[in-house]
């Protein structure tokens, strides 16, 4: 739509100023032969544009189908991953339980061995056992006295 010319606006009455002016005249369209060639050009241009739009829509549809196929794989892979994690988790829990049980057994054996050695040593040398107990009690008593008098 062409803009009205300033000279024409000034010559018109106010009511005419409300009507838009379209800057084309019949002579600009030319003869019917030139109109047909313009129509053929426009048809070719529209057909080319339609082909490009159709191609773009086809590419988009193919992309959507490809994404859909890829998304169908995701739940299956997630299920496999979940199963693997559950299996590894149960394996890890079982290994932890076995190691804890083994550590408990070893600690118990060490404690029993230490107890037997202490009993055997106290029976072999009872005076040494009494002296060690008295020394430990003395050191503990001195430590408690220092700690209490610190305040």
Tell me, what's the pLDDT at 67?
Answer: 85
Does residue 29 contact residue 35 with C-beta atoms inside 8 Å?
yes
* Mean per-residue pLDDT pooled into runs of 10, the chain (151 residues): 51 51 50 65 86 87 85 83 85 90 95 93 90 94 92 65
pTM over 0.75: no
Tell me, what's the pLDDT at 56?
Answer: 87
Question: What are the boundaries of each domain within the chain?
Answer: 6-149
Tell me, what's the pLDDT at 36?
Answer: 60
Contacts with 1 (C-beta within 8 Å, 6 or more apart), sequence order: 20, 22, 23
């Amino acid at each position: 739509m062409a803009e009205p010319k300033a000279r024409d606006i000034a010559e018109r009455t106010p009511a005419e100023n409300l009507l838009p002016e379209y800057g084309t005249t019949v002579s600009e369209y030319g003869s019917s032969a030139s109109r047909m060639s313009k129509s053929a050009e426009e048809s070719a241009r529209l057909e080319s544009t339609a082909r490009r739009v159709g191609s773009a829509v086809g590419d988009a549809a193919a992309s959507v189908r490809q994404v859909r196929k890829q998304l169908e794989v995701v739940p299956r892979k997630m299920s496999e991953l979940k199963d693997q994690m559950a299996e590894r988790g149960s394996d890890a829990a079982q290994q932890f339980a076995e190691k804890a049980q083994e550590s408990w057994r070893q600690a118990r054996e060490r404690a029993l061995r230490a107890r037997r050695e202490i009993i055997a040593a106290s029976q072999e040398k009872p005076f040494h056992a009494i002296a060690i107990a008295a020394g430990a009690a003395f050191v503990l008593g001195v430590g408690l006295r220092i700690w209490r008098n610190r305040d």
